[in-house]
A and B are shown apart, each in its own frame.
Chain A
C-alpha cells in the first residue's frame, strides 16, 4: 500500500474528492527507508505554522519493513504534492509489534502523538508519545467481540444520554 492525496472544495458533503494522479512517496525511490519498504499505512498531515522543520506540510505515517513490525516516521512538503522524506530513522520505534496510525495534537508546548500499539504488550491498545522539540473529545477505533466500531471518549459522562439514544438504535447484521 501507498499514500495518495486528494482534495475538495466542499468537505461537508458526500461529494467525491478529486485524487492526484499518482501516489506520493513511491517506495521505489532511492531514499525509501527500511521501515517502509514493504508498505505504507495511515498518514497525518499537519500545518506546522512555526515552520520548525522549514516546511509548512509535515506528515507522519507508519510503515512496515521486511520484518513483523511497524514504525512511524516523517515526510515534509512545501506544496503538499511533492513530498520529501525527512530523516532516515523512524520517530516512533518500539522494540517489537506495531506502532501505527499517528494523530498529532499540541497541548500547550508539548507535541503529542496518539497512536495505536499492538503486540509489545498483549493485544492492541491506544497509546501516545510526547515531544518538546518537534514536531476535547477523542474518537478512537475499538475492537469488541461483535464487530469493529467507532467509539467516543468524552471528557464528561454522556452514558445516560447515549443509553436513551440506544433504545432507538438499529442493529446491523454481522460484518462479512
Chain B
C-alpha cells in the first residue's frame, strides 16, 4: 500500500505491505521531502496508471517500462490540514 502521512505541516509518501489488509508493515518512504526543493514540505504521491475497473485486477500499468506516480508538491506549509 502506498500511503501518505501528515507531519510537521506537510504530506510525505510511504509504502507498507500486508498479508491480510488488517495488519501492515511499514517499509519506508518513497517520496520524502527534499530540502530546499519545490517539494521540501509537501510530497504526497498517488499511484497512476492502475487498472481502475471495479473488481478488476488493480494491477499497476507501465509506460515506457516504468511505473508512474503523480504527487502533490510544495515548499510552503500552505495547505490547511484536512477537516
Contact = CB atoms under 8 A, between A and B. Distances in A.
A32 interface: no
Contacts of A46: 48-50, 52
Interface in A3-17: 3-17
Interface residues of B, number: 52
Contact of A118 (B44, B46, B83): B83
Interface string A1-33: 111111111111111110100010000000000
Contacts of A176: 7-8
B6 to A, nearest CB: 6
B59 to A, nearest CB: 11
Given A4-B39, A7-B66, A118-B83, A106 B30 contact: no
Nearest to A152: B21
Name the prevailing secondary structure of the A interface residues. strand
B53 A11 contact: no
A42 to B, nearest CB: 6
Interface of A: 1-17, 19, 23, 39-47, 57, 59, 79-80, 98, 104-108, 112, 116, 118-119, 123-124, 136-137, 139, 141, 143, 148, 150, 152, 154, 158, 161-162, 165, 175-176
23 contacts: A1-B79, A4-B72, A7-B67, A8-B66, A8-B69, A9-B65, A11-B60, A11-B67, A16-B31, A19-B31, A39-B74, A39-B78, A42-B44, A47-B52, A80-B48, A107-B54, A119-B83, A124-B82, A143-B82, A148-B82, A150-B3, A152-B21, A154-B21
